[in-house]
A and B are shown apart, each in its own frame.
Chain A
Amino acid sequence: MEVKVLKNILGANEQLAEKNRALLDENKVFAVNIMASPGAGKTSLILETIKRLKGKTRVGVIEGDVSSSVDAEAVSKEGVPVIQINTGGSCHLDANMVANALASLPLADIDLLFVENVGNLICPAGFALGEQRKVIISSIPEGDDKPLKYPVMFHEADVVVLNKTDLLPYVRFSLDAFSRALKGINEKLEIIAVSCTSGQGLDDWVSWLEKQMTAR
Chain B
Amino acid sequence: MHELTVTQTMLDIVLEQAQKAHARKVGAINLVIGELSGFVEDSVRFYFGFLAKDTIAEGAALNFKSVSPQARCRGCGNTFALKEFDWSCPRCGGGDVEITAGKELSIESIDVE
Contact = CB atoms under 8 A, between A and B. Distances in A.
B41 interface: no
A7 B95 contact: no
B11 to A, nearest CB: 10
Given A1-B113, A5-B17, A184-B86, A123 B96 contact: no
Contacts of B14: 5
Given A2-B112, A7-B13, 13 more contacts: A1-B21, A1-B112, A1-B113, A3-B17, A6-B108, A10-B6, A12-B9, A123-B1, A123-B2, A126-B38, A152-B38, A181-B85, A184-B87
Contacts, number: 85
A191 to B, nearest CB: 14
Interface residues of A, number: 26
A1 B22 CA distance: 11
A125 B103 CA distance: 11
B1 A9 contact: no
Contacts of B105: 8-10
Interface string B98-113: 0100011111111111
B52 interface: no
A7 to B, nearest CB: 5
A204 interface: no
Interface of B: 1-2, 6, 9-10, 13-14, 17-18, 21, 23, 36-38, 85-88, 94-97, 99, 103-113
Contact of B96 (A10, A125, A181, A187): A187
Nearest to A92: B2
A2 B109 CA distance: 7
A175 interface: no
A186 B18 CA distance: 42
A54 B36 CA distance: 41
B96 A188 contact: yes
A5 B108 contact: yes
A28 B75 CA distance: 31
15 contacts: A1-B21, A3-B23, A3-B110, A7-B17, A7-B107, A10-B9, A123-B1, A123-B2, A126-B1, A126-B37, A151-B87, A152-B36, A152-B103, A184-B87, A186-B96
Contacts of A2: 109-112
A158 to B, nearest CB: 13
B95 A184 contact: yes
Interface string A1-43: 1111111111010000000000000000000000000000000
Nearest to B96: A188
A167 interface: no
Closest 9 CB pairs of A and B: A187-B95, A5-B107, A8-B106, A9-B105, A3-B21, A188-B96, A4-B109, A184-B86, A3-B110
B35 to A, nearest CB: 10
A139 B106 CA distance: 35
